Amino acid sequence: MQEHIDDDQLDEEQELFEHYNFIADKGQEFVRIDKFLMDRIPNTSRSKIQTAAASGTILVNSKAVKSNYKVKPLDEISIVLPYPPRVLELIPENIPIDIIYEDNDVLVLNKQANMVVHPGYGNYTGTLVNALVYHLDNLPDNNLNHRPGLVHRLDKNTTGIMVIAKTEHAMNHLSNQFFERTTERRYNAIVWGDFEEDEGTVTGNVGRSLKNRKVMNVFPDSDFGKHAVTHYKVLQRFGYVTLIECKLETGRTHQIRVHMKHIGHTLFNDFEYGGDSILKGTSFAKYKQFINNCFEILPRQALHAKSLGFTHPTTGEWMHFDSELPEDMQMVLKKWETYVANRED
């Protein structure tokens, strides 16, 4: 499947609609177009897509279709959706935050799954920033469009440790540490497949995919993208999947997810990078059911920002914070331990 999101720079008054274009794969199964688009457009809903169909703004092979149209192989699909109104102010929301450390300069928290870090199109409320502005007063703004206190971020469905700056000084100091790569970030991930080696390094420029603007790609022999380095180490092997630790030298968007896919070890249940299909293992129905059960327990990419180290912006002290794996990842690992122990080779 090929996809392109029109992201030309428009005047503010013109930037009222988002345009998506898709070409269905050769092996595409017949599926309702509202479900097909739901799975591929971020932060949308079936009712929003059905409204677009009723308005005649979903085209298949240049003809308007209804929401119950069945997508066929190689269909050329386009849809136009209205952007929601721009955010004029941040709305404080009493959303619980798992705070593990706080002083006058910084706050360290353990982000939960299914939480967007900052407001944007389709996510004006319910974000971590909405929670922060409720719980904290006078957070510094980094001039990045309503992202007060943020010096780094995690994907919506990635869990783990984040640091928030509470003062202008802390923001400048921490931002510089992330830029200069003097922080220490370690992640745990469950990935498909086994490794021949116990540790290794992935180096390759990471940039927005030229075919699908929602995801990133690795450009190993090109100047395109930004330099990215991920060090990994095997923690536990299960044959068909592996628990690894990743240490980041750089912090590119989706870096671990795209680097692991690049070397043939896509993250377990990572929909955007194809990890929500069985990539390793048998064809037995019992195994398929086992994997589906794991996907239900862990309905997201298996990635957790386990630890973070940085220099305190005021005291100069090295601060290091660690966290337990979230319950969903722990449960899936226990299921794999049981599966391997009982597997008949």
To which H or E segment does residue 203 belong? strand 199-203
pLDDT of residue 80: 74
Give Cα separations from 265 to 183, 189, 285, 327 (angstroms): 26, 10, 23, 23
Model confidence, pTM: 0.74
pLDDT of residue 221: 79
Q: What is the pLDDT of residues 118-152, one digit of tens each?
A: 877 666 788 999 999 999 877 776 544 467 888 89
Catalytic member of 34, 105, 155, 270: 155
Q: What is the CA radius of gyration of the chain?
A: 22
In the chain the domains, ranked by start, together with CATH numbers, are: 2-82 (3.10.290.10), 99-180 (3.30.2350.10), 184-342 (3.30.2350.10)
pLDDT of residue 122: 63
pLDDT of residue 344: 63
- State how far the Cα of 39 lies from the Cα of 155, in Å rounded to an integer: 17
In this prediction, residues 180-207 reach a mean pLDDT of: 95
Task: Share the mean pLDDT of the chain.
Answer: 86
pLDDT of residue 85: 45
Q: What is the pLDDT of residues 20-67, one digit of tens each?
A: 889 999 888 899 999 899 888 877 778 878 877 886 778 999 888 998
Q: What is the pLDDT of residues 293-337, one digit of tens each?
A: 999 999 999 999 999 999 999 999 999 999 999 999 999 999 999
Question: 3-state SS of the chain: helix, strand, coil percent to 5?
Answer: 20, 30, 50
pLDDT of residue 337: 97
Alpha helices by DSSP H, listed for 127-265, are 128-135, 168-180, 255-262
Contact between 72 and 28 (Cβ < 8 Å)? yes
> Is 198 a catalytic site residue?
no
pLDDT of residue 82: 60
**153 token code pair:** 């971020």
To which H or E segment does residue 82 belong? strand 76-82
